[in-house]
């Protein structure tokens, strides 16, 4: 099984030891020390310190450690824009869109939810609630009267 895992991780240019350290750092929300990592991985503290320093040096040299971001794939932004438009129109479900883009459902949902939304043209106009305020000049933005 370890050979299989090494083969999977080789796609991302990462060793199983590095994957273990990255998993622990992610699980503990980046609030960890090399000593804590060594306790959790059953390795000597100096071994973990050397591993982390090598990973930092590789990162400084421009090497990417771990899986590349979906948005870094060639032509992904163009494909995502067309799929997002189809999802918005109701032509495609999120699950179908994720399959079409070859990404996970959660990744697609995060990308769609974090996408900047175009401003509504009616947001610059006075709303009925704003005009009922009285003689004062009021403006609305995103439904908030100010």
94-104 pLDDT, tens per residue? 999 999 999 99
H helix runs in 1-91, sequence order: 2-10, 16-27, 34-41, 45-60, 76-89
Number of Cβ within 10 Å of residue 111's Cβ equals 19
CB neighbour burial string for 22-52, b if at least 16 within 10 angstroms, e if fewer: eebeeeeeeebebeebbebbebeeeebeebe
pLDDT above 50: residue 58: yes
Question: What pLDDT is attached to residue 87?
Answer: 93
């Amino acid at each position: 099984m370890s050979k299989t895992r090494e083969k999977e991780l080789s796609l991302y240019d990462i060793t199983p030891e590095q994957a273990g350290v990255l998993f622990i750092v992610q699980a503990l929300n980046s609030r960890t020390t090399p000593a804590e990592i060594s306790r959790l991985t059953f390795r000597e503290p100096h071994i973990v310190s050397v591993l982390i320093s090598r990973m930092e040096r590789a990162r400084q040299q421009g090497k990417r450690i771990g899986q590349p971001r979906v948005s870094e794939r060639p032509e992904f932004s163009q494909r995502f824009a067309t799929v997002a438009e189809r999802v918005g129109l109701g032509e495609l479900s999120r699950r179908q869109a994720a399959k079409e883009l070859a990404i996970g459902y959660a990744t697609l949902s995060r990308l769609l939810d974090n996408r900047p939304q175009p401003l509504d043209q009616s947001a610059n106009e006075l709303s009925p609630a704003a005009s009922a305020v009285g003689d004062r000049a009021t403006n609305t933005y995103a439904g908030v009267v100010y």
